[in-house]
Structure 1
């Protein structure tokens, strides 16, 4: 079923302030508001700063925003448009349509007329939405196109991932509505991250996102996923004022190779002109994911950079993991790489 893009604001059923709510409040105080309904205040961008950001982000030539027919899609397009505008990149909006499949029937000689009619309705609504999205790109003064992809005989996340392989960066939203919406968005996110080979920026619905960030937090572990994430995030990190490299639960007597890997990462970032600080912290009785979120809150970060699915996706689905925690709980954008 096709759902028109519309931001939804859901009030919690009880007046309870969680740790995550506190993180949201602290982070929102330090971020610039971006209203998905407008075309952003491009003229308020300082020219000198804009030129510097454009230089650092010049490697971003193609950006993709994945529209999953869930709330939050507006913000994903807005943030992707902001990045494309700053980088001088081309933006492709991938409009995903999960088409209903006909139930197999041995005696059915012709397609169900009701299903054919439903397909026509979905395509008509999608065409109307695509025109609206194209007008938004023009209003943001961003070059790009809207591509409508019908997932009938293939899984929608896999179809989105195949189309995103031609982008330098992919943006997707995490809806703030129901748990089922979040689960659907997570399925798209996992498919994009594992099958596209591209970095994925997750933008939580309702965030006051600022990209490129003034301040970013990089989660570092001596793994291929962490190294890939830093490489993929360089265009954004180079545009940031400061970057914290955070190591969670480092052993008290770290082996020489582990200490050397951290120093090498710091030197690598500094060689790219990134102002870095090294921070060691402990997860204590919590988890690595929430330790990173607490650190980002303390440092008033606007972006977290992390490797995604260092463990198998099945393991993370069964018992949880840092990637899943950051996707579901982060109140600020997270750039994941795998």
Structure 2
């Protein structure tokens, strides 16, 4: 198994080059086909008081701004793909639905992997809702590139977050191409349960045995949160073992609860220090 069809989510000119560089690094190693997608921002009509008529100049300015960004994103994507002689195609979607549109979701569902930039509130890149829509609706693993300035690097060590849930199991096997190629993988559980049905000493042991049969060099570890969030514990552990990728399940709780109260998924979307692969 390998990633042969890779969707690159290119939301803004600020992150298009970085996302494309990461996608091409993976495509070169797998011989994969890359699909660049961009959802052009809809025009927001500005009203002027007291008659509340649309300001035509403001509408034209917004249209041109959105179209200019689309052209910049496309140019950054095409130039890199042609430079590397990679099989690729470009898809532009317009409409109010953004990255939740049927065309974008259909493109993602036909891919082995979706790659996007990490949510960053400081520029007009992918919003949290954009990533959530792709993650929740596409049924495909989403690989988030961290906001750290480093470029694409070989994935030598992987931190696999494990809590025994369906989502974390899905993520582990969706990430199998990365795991088999890595030098080592650590299955890490934060605050593992210890009760009559399971012992924290064996948490992740069965998954480790299964991955080992695929040739993965895998170890099992656990740690206590000590009052900190699970996201903080995962980031801290990734730093300790010098992991270059975190693999984790998403939305162990309902999506509504996740949006209202936050959670590990939301926190990692914002604060993961290394690339993170999430599956739902």
TM-score of the superposed pair, with normalisation by structure 2: 0.87
Aligned residues: 274
Q: CA RMSD in A?
A: 2.8
Query: Structure 1: which 5+ runs fail to align?
Result: 1-57, 105-110
* Regions of 4+ moved over 6 Å: 257-261
- Look up the SS of the partner of 2:89 in the other structure: strand
Question: Does structure 2 retain, via aligned residues, the 8 Å contact 1:83–1:212?
Answer: no
- Look up the SS of the partner of 1:141 in the other structure: coil
Deviations 1:110-137 (A, max 9, x none): x986546754664465345424421210
Partner of 1:170: 114
1:253 deviates by 3.6
Is residue 222 of structure 1 aligned with residue 164 of structure 2?
Answer: yes
Question: Does structure 2 retain, via aligned residues, the 8 Å contact 1:64–1:171?
Answer: yes
Deviations 1:223-270 (A, max 9, x none): 110010001000011110000000111123462488777222011110
Partner of 2:91: 147
Output aligned runs, 1:269-288, within 5 Å. 269-288=211-230
Cα distance change on mapping 1:121 and 1:334 into 2, 3 Å: closer
CA distance in 2, matches of 1:181, 1:112: 23
Is residue 201 of structure 1 aligned with residue 143 of structure 2?
Answer: yes
Partner of 2:80: 136
Question: Does structure 2 retain, via aligned residues, the 8 Å contact 1:71–1:176?
Answer: no
Partner of 1:65: 8
Question: Does structure 2 retain, via aligned residues, the 8 Å contact 1:305–1:336?
Answer: yes
CA distance in 2, matches of 1:142, 1:274: 29
CA distance in 2, matches of 1:173, 1:136: 17
1:181 deviates by 4.5
Is residue 231 of structure 1 aligned with residue 162 of structure 2?
Answer: no
1:162 deviates by 3.2
Question: Does structure 1 retain, via aligned residues, the 8 Å contact 2:25–2:152?
Answer: no
CA distance in 1, matches of 2:73, 2:207: 44
TM-score of the superposed pair, with normalisation by structure 1: 0.73
Deviates more, 1:142-151 or 1:156-165: 156-165
